[in-house]
Amino acid sequence: MEVKMSEKGLTYKDSGVDIKAGSKFIELIKENVKSTYIPGVMGDIGGFGGLFELAKYKNPVLVSGTDGVGTKLKLAFLANKHDTIGIDAVAMCVNDIIVAGAKPLFFLDYLATGKLNPENHAEIVKGIADGCKLGECALIGGETAEMPGFYSDGEYDIAGFSVGVVEKSEIIDGTKISDGDVIIGITSSGIHSNGYSLVRKLFIEKLDWSLDRYVDELGKTLGEELITPTKIYVKAIEKIKKDVKIKGLVHVTGGGFTENVPRILPNNVDAEIDKSSYKLPEIFKLIQKLGNVAENEMYKTFNMGIGMMVIVAKKDQEKVLELLKEIGEEAYKIGEIKVGNKVCKMK
């Protein structure tokens, strides 16, 4: 393969990396990044490290989480829609750290691509900024890696991490969960960002459905359903924390119900989930039916319409449901805590 070189010899641009495109990209994302700044942010975009001042805490504990979007990216490529995938990246991180009772402070992203397209990739960062606003945290930095020959044209990878803070005395770790407590489920916005390898195998490879196919059961196109960004639960949990003592939180991600719920249970109790306590979203019915997927496989792969679980004392059940309704969240009592052996049981 012949490499075109400048008259003065090989340049970085000749190898596929355009520094000017990088500079243009920074200019395009500046306003979106700044729009996420909250009290505590120090410095400005473009530094070697992001600075955040930690104040007003007596005994602060930092809580961090890192994640990516997984193979949901493949559907973003197919749909050529890149302005919401950043929300997914933020959601997967902040939803994990709020489970410990932490308030997210800031987020940093990692975006890698074969060739930087300033306009298109600025859309991704816009999505990240939107996610940070929903998560009430600041986007204080990140890394954009241009890696020619490593990614196919138009493809990229995105990941990130978030840091939050909680008073040591207010950490939520599940140790106070006991027999008789109730489980409140807050609905998801769809599949979120887990189980997409199975989803693609079914709809794209096995059934050969296009993303613009209108699906009657969904009331929208397949692409609209599958690209729906992951819901961010920061505001909901902060709302509850102000009035109710939360005993445990579960972010229903990879591993679904059966793998995630036991992570916060003490050894002497089980969680019993009533599958009939809420309406199962159509997308999960469709996956199970068309893919002939066993029910236990569904509940250990997908969120099944519940993205976050809140465990509280029975006396606080109605208060939690009321608080969530005030901010427009759909939530239900979906189960109870019983004496057992750290198992999530479906009934």
Residue 269 and residue 178 in contact, taking contact as beta carbons nearer than 8 Å: yes
pLDDT at res. 28: 67
Domains and CATH numbers, the chain: 19-170 (3.30.1330.10), 182-346 (3.90.650.10)
pLDDT at res. 1: 44
pLDDT at res. 63: 97
Tell me the residue ranges of DSSP E strands in the chain.
41-42, 51-52, 60-68, 103-113, 138-146, 156-167, 182-187, 214-215, 220-221, 248-251, 269-273, 306-312, 331-339, 344-346
pLDDT at res. 343: 97
Question: With a cut of 50, which residues of the chain have pLDDT below it?
Answer: 1, 3
C-alpha 203 chain-centroid distance: 22
pLDDT at res. 109: 96
Measured CA to CA, the distance from residue 102 to residue 69 in angstroms comes to 22
pLDDT at res. 51: 86
Give the side-chain half-sphere CA count within 13 A for 139. 30
Rg (the chain; Cα; Å): 22
pLDDT at res. 291: 97
Give the side-chain half-sphere CA count within 13 A for 19. 4
Strand-strand pairing, 156-167 and 103-113: antiparallel
pLDDT at res. 228: 97
Dihedral sign from CA coordinates of 73, 77, 79, 85: positive
Residue whose tokens read 């009321």? 322
Lookup: tokens for 327: 């901010």
